Structure 1
């Protein structure tokens, strides 16, 4: 009986080793094409000008790429995930590029309107100058009629006075044109900067929304390369030192109320600290955390929660 048992044990050991080797050989690996999709997404995220224009679509693409990178024995399912990830990345890139073109189009439209306004201002100034010149001509004619009844000395004095009035009128017209040009240029510059910030006017002031692309999940430190939009905001606040800003942090409903309130406050404080480093006086900035209390949309899906994870900067004292 012992030899049989010995042989049986050897066969069982050999079968077990074969099964283990077969399992190791068949262990799933990252699907073909997943690394290429990851490279495409990384290139899109590295373009800071495009990344801030479609944060939700990029977030959706990131989730799809993570799913496509997971090892999967079912090759059809793995290929499907890679295709879906490629589509998500392509859609995010297209959305960002479309938004960039829309902003460029709006800027060109605003520039065209400003040029028209400047032309109308020049026309109005020219009309005022013509009217002033006509009045001066009439006064000069009356002065000449009076000079005809006076002696030569009185005529010379009247002519000199008329010339002085004409000079004053021309100077006033020049001043008016210069003031109109300065006002138009200031208004155009303000509008261009507002468009650059992608800000929206509200009853509280200009609201600049900074999406969750600034921070990693659950953290309050700025990501590397995420400060481009904050730099534009700092430039705007430095250009208009009379304006103050309210910085508000918001989260989704994942986690406890206390944790979300603390995280939103820390993120608002981080944005404030960045602006102070750029030369903005701390007295002009107020940072507060709102937690999950003020969502933009209901927290019913990942995309909705991504919209609610944000920092809003409300710029007061805006001009119409």
Structure 2
């Protein structure tokens, strides 16, 4: 009896999935939801025969960006960098889909003939023109968004933002306040200016300003101090031009410490104000 052996063949997505699985054997990186969405969008486009046939080059560029995002995630790149690459992947998938629609409409227009079809041909021509215009606008949006996203990522890196379950968090340390006071020191002006710039460049962005203290003193006194410090940061940002309706404050007092209050170093880390950028607020 003859036995045949088959060697599995992996497509582009199979290679990405396999690479991710092999990488996971060593370490399990934090899940990145933006990257998950980018993968899903790419798979949908890759399974669309019209996109495969009419926009292979555009789809290839989306695949290359997705591969770069995957590799950046595996290599432990900053979340902001992975998010940006995932965003670029989704935009390039959109360009591939719109380009395929445009080319399909153009092919229909070219195939239309005869006096009897003139009216229909005119309609299809307008549809093709609209699809072309949409593709050009989408490409322009990607270029503008890339520039803004790169700038925003750089600012957030300067402020040492961290990605958490609550969203991106920028921590202002105790050194930016006078001792046991809610008054901001002159050393805080640089961070305040950078935060204000982030809000100016992202008009839809909102944030919660949350105050924390160490466990020294009474719980009531610590709660009041954390509230005053959060309000002081809000007032400083409003003075720098951030609309007050995009900011809110929350006091936590000595709750939710990030370090051991038994040491001076730990207490200093616990005395902080966190700027929590809303997860669902688009950066545009």
TM-score, reference length from structure 1: 0.51
2:262 — aligned with what?
300
For residues 85-144 of structure 1, the C-alpha deviation after alignment (integer angstroms, 9 at most, x for no partner) is xxxxxxxxxxxxxxxxx9998777766666665555444433222222222223x2xx33
- Structure 2 Cα separation of the partners of residues 104 and 203 of structure 1: 18
Distance 1:107 1:286, change over 3 A: closer
Q: 1:165 pairs with 124, 132, 135, which one? A: 124
Can you list the C-alpha shifts for 1:165-220, whole angstroms capped at 9, x where unaligned?
Answer: 32431232322441464267447735752562343444544332212231233232
* SS of residue in 2 equivalent to 1:225: helix
Residues 143-173 of structure 1 show CA distances to partners (whole Å, capped at 9, x for unaligned) of 33xxxxxxxxxx4x74576356324312323
Q: 1:278 to 1:298 in 2, by over 3 A?
A: same
The yes-or-no answer on 1:182 pairing with 2:141 is yes
* Residue 277 (structure 1) shift: 0.4
Quote the residue 1:226 is aligned against. 188
- Bigger helix share: 1
User: Per-residue CA shift, 1:46-89, capped at 9, x if unaligned?
Assistant: xxxxxxxxxxxxxxxxxxxxxxxxxxxxxxxxxxxxxxxxxxxx
Give the match for residue 108 of structure 2: 135
* RMSD value, Cα: 3.7
Gaps of 5+ in 1: 1-101, 145-154
Shift in CA distance, 164/294, structure 1 to aligned 2, threshold 3 Å: closer
Closer/same/farther in 2, CA of residues 202 and 248 from structure 1, 3 Å limit:
same
Comparing 281-290 with 297-306, greater Cα deviation is found at 281-290
